[in-house]
Amino acid sequence: MNFLSPLVDRFVPRARLAVLALATAALLPVVSAQAAAQLTDQDKQDIARIEQYFNNIKTLQARFIQLSPNGRFAQGNLYINRPGKLRFEYDEPVPYLLIADGNQVIFYDKKLNTPSYIPLSATPLEFLLSPQVKLTNGVIVQEIARDPGVIRVTLQQKGKESDGAVQITFSDRPFAVKKWTLIDKQGQAIHVAILEPKFDLDLDPKLFEFKNPKIYNKENNGSN
């Protein structure tokens, strides 16, 4: 479920794409618009398992490792509090922070000290963080593939098929997200692996709050 980096060019500049992709992602080829897969009974059973897995997640804390199309490697901490809230915090020297506060997604470049704000509904994070994850609601299942011990599902947003796809890789036993990949409309792939997940922790609400340093520091200095 992004869990795990820049997204598509229509939202933010390219450096920020990888950060947003985390939240929604195994190499797969360039994906073009195509009809949804004809689902078998086994496919439908696996879809039900995927939906149940995501809907059972209330809070999650994990490490992530990200590989971008240019070969750059990054890692950091991921926090999720469903519905609506998420935090991707990159380790130094990567200066990026991504927060979903329930209404909007904030991308913050610590080096430039510049935040960008995007409605949560305009990003793939809405699917992951919705109160009820349903793969038949606004999502097209393009393919379900299986290898020994592994299940991969390829998804596209309905009405935006030409933008690309997300492929999520699960281990079968135990059933859990291991990796996801975002392929944008140019065919560039961002890979994210999830490590050491911990569930049902009591996460600090402040993890999902963002205070613009420019405004916050100005207000504090003015009150002194």
139-174 pLDDT, tens digit each: 788 889 999 999 999 887 777 666 677 889 999 988
Q: Provide the whole-model pTM.
A: 0.77
The domain 14-218 having CATH identifier 3.40.50.2300: the answer here is: no
CA separation for the pair 148, 124 (Å, rounded): 29
Domain boundaries, the chain: 14-218
Number of Cβ within a 10 Å radius of residue 223:
6
pLDDT at 104: 93
202 vs 123 pLDDT, higher one: 202
CA separation for the pair 49, 65 (Å, rounded): 25
Q: Tell me 213's DSSP state.
A: H
How far is residue 14 CA from its own chain's centroid?
16
Q: Which helix (H) or strand (E) holds 22?
A: helix 17-22
Give residue-wise pLDDT tens across range 15-67. Answer: 444 455 444 432 223 333 344 668 899 999 999 999 999 999 999 999 999 88
CB 59 within 8 A of CB 78: no
By C-alpha distance, which of 92, 90, 121, 126 is closest to 107? 90
At 65, give phi and psi (nearest 5°): -125, 130
